[in-house]
């Protein structure tokens, strides 16, 4: 075995497994070896499921020998720890769920398992997916493989860093306001946030129910398309999953961008943006034009209100979603005085600062006398933001923008100023509020050799267009091939 | 919009969160700052705008009334901090 | 309350809130079985959804919606076209998610009414403000050691909350409302009506005011009413208590009160509740529900006959009196029993008499409620058999009662019992005459009194003959023979 199997894309690894060039055990072992060597530096995983991974790999090799095939047969992936996994501790990066082992798999995870995926472990996240840096994890902060003094982004920073550092072939994340797109950008990998309702949320431990989606990480656009294709589709256990056919993404991914109309929203190029980021994103847009796309300046006038809208709706829903952590049926219990004291102590000590801050904000926004002024107002503005996109997509097929205003920031840099931290999501929040799909892919590096991400946003349920544009861009550029030196 | 300590305490009580003195002070300042920022929404006239509770074009998602087995009692209680006689045990509630 | 003060100067203003579990196969938002809480082992009809495990999602049970529509229609409500579920947020150990999925701003049914039947034979219209769907909670059991146990078998069972307008004026009306509502739910087949099992739970919001005033004074919400009898007593007690409070110069505290069955008193359930703030907001996990008029009509077409319609039919087609018809339709099992008996081939009026006389007497004696008629050993066909045997003079009336009592207490076949107990009617003139002559010989003074014109003595002699024949004599024949033999002795 001469090549390092961890350098292969999922598409390449699938080919190698199919042709018998290497076994699933060998592939899995390569990743486990690399995890052993590097996870202590990157801190991508909360727990590595080595034994289970090797058992699955063995079963896969057996299946391959028996002539079985599957879209992701034998592919080792990292799973964000907010996705439920049967019998495997699932903590959401929170102390309050330490030791909790779900009796069921999230639907998205189950579909991957059914397709032959091998789980390498559960990856770190900001507690309950609330954050943009993994600094809010109840356990530790994940490091950016490009500069371990910097954050990987968040909340799915563990999966992003794992894919970037080749500690997994691909990964699962969740995106509520940018939580797969922003860390993908900061770690120099690809991530797709599907439209709301495209992938079942069953088993995704809810943060904000009307915004949460399960997304995928990979080192190429094709790879995330493959993972999405397996996860996507109607689930009777999720009343908010769309019962519509899932296109064959691989069938259209190579069709190029010629004739496609790419919208460039002026509101996404703002003061205070890192110059290198703007330059790289504009260059990427020029590249698309050079490849035959038609570039149109568009306006999404309510963009500036997305942050306020999001920070009312998401915390309000979160305040209810996190009420179940009451120490009765699972998780931490800190017994104190009477039952209510126990509730309050458990929740006061079990939740971290950011989670408590958002529960407080959301509880306030829903409380008597404030509902109309805050929550209802935010829902109305959400309508305006959604309408902005609907109007835009009458003129263009896809919208291009930066993913984040800056490249990866230093650990601790924004930790004391929640509002500054929230601002790192300004470009990803609007698509979440509108429920549309978004793709994040590498489009350059800044002067410190930190990756920059290009965001492509597509109409509701048009992930196929995003993958097609992203793949065409990737074919014409080499950003995705750069690897962090670890 | 600035939140008083008393309001912060009231919200913490509603949310069943024990907060330290330092947290109460900190959240009063931080939540006030966030609410100040959010006040920008008041600049928008939304009188005739319907609220969006869900972005989905869905309605009437229903399941047939057919029983499927869930969990064995043991599995239901597997994660319980305290269980007794097939049930979850908690401190009694004094109303 | 020791003494009841007569104060016609006050009237009560009562609104009722009833929580009715719907007898679907599976729960409201998951497909766990709906089980009998008093029979099932704890936490055996649960799944991640109704246990509120992290990451789970609700899916609406279509049958629960249709049952809700049915009840709404039966209560003459408008069925809302636009329905939305909301989260009602509060903490309690039996509430696994920390919120209850309920309907708030957009309930299923509004603006209805129900006609209640009062003891004096009159009816009254009670307005129904709303009926909305929600999920039931689990069940806490408090132990003596200061801990509680929680069972989630009930968690997620579909629940319909039915709220009246404050149209009820006294405990009798409150009882009539509960009986009527329970009958409707039973007729629709959506609830067993068994309050002792907690499938139907009643709360009364009670205030009093001077007669003639339109004000609404402070009200109390009386809970823990696990039978109609307790509801009646608690309501009566609470009305009197409030009147006394006002009369003694005090004022009624707006609060929740429980019913202490032992002491027969309501008591304050002071909760150190920080005034509830449920923070309702639309349930983001559930798309809205639009109930088309076509859907409503489809449900209506499949609705079973309701008590008022049945009552009319019993009067018009079967010739029952208004009173009899009301009694027989008041509980669905009674009505079913009656109809099965009529079907078995008997005269409706006679069957009604026997049921309301003998059967109800036997049930009262053994402490059975009307709705438990299905549990008795006397089957409708057996009641009819007895009635027909009386008509055919195979047995007499008394023997009929005796047979019924034996079947009721011990079971068995009617014909077999008549035989083994020797209850067949004796009509043989020779046998009867012998018995008559024996009685006359043994009671010479009574015979003399009769001969002296004291005619009513014949009743005593009748009784003696019947007793001698262990009640089996043909009464008409005995009477005739007695007169014949007495006249012979003039």
Are A89 and A99 in contact, with CB atoms under 8 Å apart?
Answer: yes
Supply C212's token pair: 């003639």
Q: Which of A106, A328, A340 is facing C150, going by the closest CB pair?
A: A328
Dihedral of CA atoms A120, A27, A14, A82 in degrees, nearest 10, equals 10
Is pLDDT above 70 for B12? Answer: yes
Q: Which residue do the tokens 């309408």 mark?
A: A387
Are C376 and C363 in contact, with CB atoms under 8 Å apart?
Answer: yes
SS (HEC) of C16-36 = EEEEEECCCCECCCCCCECCC
Per-chain mean pLDDT for chain C: 92
Find the mean pLDDT for residues A281-298: 98
CA distance A381 to A308: 9
Phi and psi of A197, rounded to 5°?
A: 95, -5
Which residues in chain A have Cβ-Cβ distances shorter than 8 Å to C56?
202-203
Residue closest to A362 by CA, chosen among B6, B11, C84: B11
CA distance A442 to A470: 10
Whole-prediction pTM value?
A: 0.91
* B17 has a chain A CB within 8 A of its CB: yes
Supply A319's token pair: 């305040």
**B54/A240 Cβ within 8 A:** yes
Are A97 and A133 in contact, with CB atoms under 8 Å apart?
Answer: no
Reply yes or no on whether A19 is catalytic. Answer: no
How many beta carbons lie within 10 A of that of residue C311, not counting itself? 22
CA distance B83 to chain C (A): 8
Residues 6+ apart with CB under 8 A from A478: none
SS (HEC) of C301-352 = HCCCCCHHHHHHHHHHCCCCCHHHHHHHHCCHHHHHHHHHHHHCCCCHHHHH
pLDDT in tens, C120-147: 888 999 999 999 999 999 999 999 999 9
DSSP symbols for A6-36 = GGS-HHHHHHHHHTTSS-HHHHHHHHHHHHH
Domains by residue range for chain C, with CATH: 10-297 (no CATH), 305-420 (no CATH), 429-488 (1.10.10.410)
Residue closest to B55 by CA, chosen among C78, A460, C98: A460
How many beta carbons lie within 10 A of that of residue C459, not counting itself? 10
Least confident of A443-447, B85-89, C327-331: C327-331
Q: What is the CA radius of gyration of chain C?
A: 29
CA distance A339 to A328: 10
pLDDT in tens, C331-360: 889 999 999 999 998 899 999 999 999 999
Angle, nearest 10°, between helix axes C332-343 and C322-329? 110
Dihedral of CA atoms C249, C253, C257, C263 in degrees, nearest 10, equals -20
Which residue, among C27, C43, C84, would best test binding to B if mutated, counting the most B CBs under 10 Å from its CB?
C43
CA distance B82 to chain A (A): 8
CA distance C177 to C115: 8
Are A141 and A133 in contact, with CB atoms under 8 Å apart?
Answer: yes
* B44 has a chain A CB within 8 A of its CB: yes
Alpha helical stretches, state H, A129-274: 157-164, 181-187, 221-231, 249-252
Q: Which of A307, A360, A378 is facing B12, going by the closest CB pair?
A: A360
Which residues in chain A have Cβ-Cβ distances shorter than 8 Å to B92?
339
Reply yes or no on whether A299 is catalytic. Answer: no
Query: Strand pairing of A170-175 and A190-193?
Result: unpaired
How many beta carbons lie within 10 A of that of residue A77, not counting itself? 29
CA distance A258 to chain B (A): 31
C5 falls in which pLDDT band (50, 70, 90)? low
CA distance C38 to chain B (A): 15
Q: Which of C55, C150, C287 is facing A205, going by the closest CB pair?
A: C55
Reply yes or no on whether A319 is catalytic. Answer: no
Are A311 and A422 in contact, with CB atoms under 8 Å apart?
Answer: yes
Which residues in chain B have Cβ-Cβ distances shorter than 8 Å to A304?
40
Is pLDDT above 60 for C2? Answer: no
How many beta carbons lie within 10 A of that of residue C298, not counting itself? 12
Q: Which one from A9, A30, A80, A213 is the annotated catalytic residue? A: A80
Phi and psi of C289, rounded to 5°?
A: -120, 125
Supply A456's token pair: 């492509």
pLDDT in tens, C239-268: 999 999 999 999 999 999 999 989 999 999
pLDDT in tens, C208-223: 999 989 999 999 999 9
Domains by residue range for chain A, with CATH: 5-263+396-481 (3.90.1300.10)
């Amino acid at each position: 075995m001469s090549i390092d199997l961890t350098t292969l894309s999922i598409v390449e690894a699938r080919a190698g497994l199919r042709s018998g060039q290497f076994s699933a055990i060998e592939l899995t072992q390569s990743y486990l070896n690399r995890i052993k060597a590097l996870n202590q530096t990157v801190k991508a995983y909360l727990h590595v499921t080595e034994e289970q991974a090797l058992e699955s790999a063995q079963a896969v090799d057996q299946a391959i020998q028996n002539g079985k095939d599957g879209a992701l047969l034998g592919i080792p992936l990292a799973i964000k720890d907010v996705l439920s996994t049967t019998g495997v501790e699932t903590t959401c990066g929170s102390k309050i769920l330490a030791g909790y082992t779900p009796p069921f798999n999230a639907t998205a995870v189950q579909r991957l398992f059914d397709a032959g995926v091998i789980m390498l472990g559960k990856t770190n996240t900001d507690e309950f997916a609330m954050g943009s840096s993994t600094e809010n994890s109840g356990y530790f902060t994940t490091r950016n493989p490009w500069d371990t003094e910097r954050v990987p982004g968040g909340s799915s920073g563990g999966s992003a860093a794992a894919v970037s550092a080749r500690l997994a072939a691909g990964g699962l994340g969740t995106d509520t306001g940018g939580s797969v797109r922003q860390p993908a950008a900061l770690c120099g990998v690809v991530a797709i946030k599907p439209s709301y309702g495209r992938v079942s949320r069953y088993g995704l431990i809810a943060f904000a129910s009307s915004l949460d989606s399960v997304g995928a990480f990979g080192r190429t656009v094709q790879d995330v398309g493959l993972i999405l294709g397996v996860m996507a589709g109607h689930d009777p256990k999720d009343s908010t999953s769309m019962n519509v056919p899932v296109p064959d993404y691989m069938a259209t991914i190579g069709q190029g961008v010629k004739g496609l109309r790419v919208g460039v929203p002026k509101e996404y190029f703002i003061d205070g943006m890192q110059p290198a980021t703007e330059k790289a994103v504009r260059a990427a847009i020029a590249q698309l034009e050079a490849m035959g796309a038609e570039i149109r300046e568009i306006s999404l006038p309510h963009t500036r209100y997305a942050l306020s809208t999001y920070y009312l709706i998401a915390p309000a829903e979160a305040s209810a979603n996190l009420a179940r952590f009451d120490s009765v049926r699972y998780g931490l219990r800190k017994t104190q005085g009477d039952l209510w004291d126990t509730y309050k102590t458990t929740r006061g000590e079990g939740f971290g600062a950011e989670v408590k801050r958002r529960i407080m904000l959301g509880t306030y926004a829903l409380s008597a006398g404030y509902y109309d002024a805050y929550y209802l107002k935010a829902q109305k503005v959400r309508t305006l933001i959604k309408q902005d996109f609907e109007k835009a997509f009458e003129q263009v097929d896809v919208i291009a923008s930066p993913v984040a205003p800056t490249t990866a920031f230093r650990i601790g840099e924004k930790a004391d100023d929640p509002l500054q931290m929230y601002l790192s999501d300004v470009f990803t929040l609007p698509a979440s509020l509108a429920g549309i799909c978004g793709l994040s892919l590498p489009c350059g590096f800044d002067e410190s050799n930190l990756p920059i991400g290009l965001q492509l946003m597509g109409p509701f349920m048009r992930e196929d267009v995003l993958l097609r544009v992203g793949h065409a861009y990737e074919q014409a550029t080499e950003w995705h091939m750069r690897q962090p030196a670890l | 919009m600035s939140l008083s300590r008393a309001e912060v305490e009231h919200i913490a009580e509603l949310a069943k969160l024990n907060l330290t003195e330092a947290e109460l002070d900190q959240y009063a300042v931080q939540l006030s700052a966030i609410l100040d920022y959010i006040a920008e929404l008041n600049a928008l006239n939304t009188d005739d705008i319907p609220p969006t509770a869900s972005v989905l074009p869905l309605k009437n998602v229903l399941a047939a009334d057919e029983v499927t087995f869930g969990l064995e009692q043991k599995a239901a209680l597997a994660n319980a901090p305290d269980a007794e006689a097939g049930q979850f045990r908690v401190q009694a509630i004094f109303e | 309350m020791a003494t009841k003060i007569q104060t016609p100067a006050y009237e009560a203003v009562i609104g009722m809130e009833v929580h009715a579990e719907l007898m679907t196969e599976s729960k409201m938002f998951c497909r766990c079985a709906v089980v009998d809480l008093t029979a099932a082992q704890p936490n055996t009809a649960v799944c991640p959804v109704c246990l509120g495990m992290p990451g789970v999602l609700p899916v609406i049970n279509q049958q629960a919606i249709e049952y809700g529509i049915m009840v709404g229609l039966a209560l003459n409500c408008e069925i809302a076209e636009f329905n939305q579920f909301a989260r009602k947020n509060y903490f309690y150990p039996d509430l696994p998610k920390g919120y209850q999925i309920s309907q708030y701003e957009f309930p299923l049914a509004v603006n209805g009414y129900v006609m209640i039947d009062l003891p004096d034979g009159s009816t009254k219209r009670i307005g129904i403000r709303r009926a909305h769907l929600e999920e039931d909670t689990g069940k806490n059991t408090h132990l003596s050691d200061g801990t509680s146990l929680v069972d989630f078998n009930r968690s997620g069972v579909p629940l319909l909350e039915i709220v009246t307008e404050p149209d009820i004026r006294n405990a009798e009306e409150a009882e009539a409302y509960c009986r009527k509502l329970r009958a409707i739910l039973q007729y629709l087949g959506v609830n067993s009506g068994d309050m002792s099992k907690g499938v139907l739970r009643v709360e009364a919001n009670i205030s009093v005011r001077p007669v003639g005033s339109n004000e609404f004074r402070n009200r109390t919400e009386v809970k823990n009413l696990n039978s109609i009898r307790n509801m009646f007593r608690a309501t009566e007690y609470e009305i009197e208590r409030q009147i006394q409070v006002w009369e003694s110069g005090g004022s009624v505290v707006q609060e929740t009160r429980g019913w202490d069955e032992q002491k027969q008193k309501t008591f304050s359930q002071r909760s150190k509740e920080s005034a509830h703030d449920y923070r309702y907001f639309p349930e983001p996990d559930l798309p809205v529900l639009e109930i088309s008029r076509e859907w409503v009509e489809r449900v209506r077409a499949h609705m079973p006959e309701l008590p008022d319609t049945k009552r009319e039919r019993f009067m018009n087609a079967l010739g029952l009196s208004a009173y009899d018809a009301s009694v027989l339709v008041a509980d669905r099992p009674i009505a079913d029993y009656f109809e099965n008996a009529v079907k078995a081939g008997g005269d409706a009026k006679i069957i009604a008499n026997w049921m309301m006389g003998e059967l109800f007497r036997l049930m009262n004696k053994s402490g059975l409620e009307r709705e438990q008629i299905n549990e008795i050993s006397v089957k409708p066909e057996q009641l009819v058999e007895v009635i027909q045997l009386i008509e055919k003079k195979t047995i007499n009336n008394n023997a009929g009662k005796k047979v019924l009592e034996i079947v009721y207490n011990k079971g068995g076949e009617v014909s077999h019992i008549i035989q083994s107990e020797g209850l067949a009617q004796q009509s043989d003139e020779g046998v009867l005459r012998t018995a008559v002559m024996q009685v006359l010989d043994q009671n010479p003074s009574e015979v003399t009194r009769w001969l002296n014109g004291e005619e009513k003595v014949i009743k005593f002699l009748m009784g003696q003959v019947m007793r001698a024949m262990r009640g089996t004599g043909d009464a008409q024949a005995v009477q005739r023979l007695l007169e014949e033999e007495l006249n012979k002795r003039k």
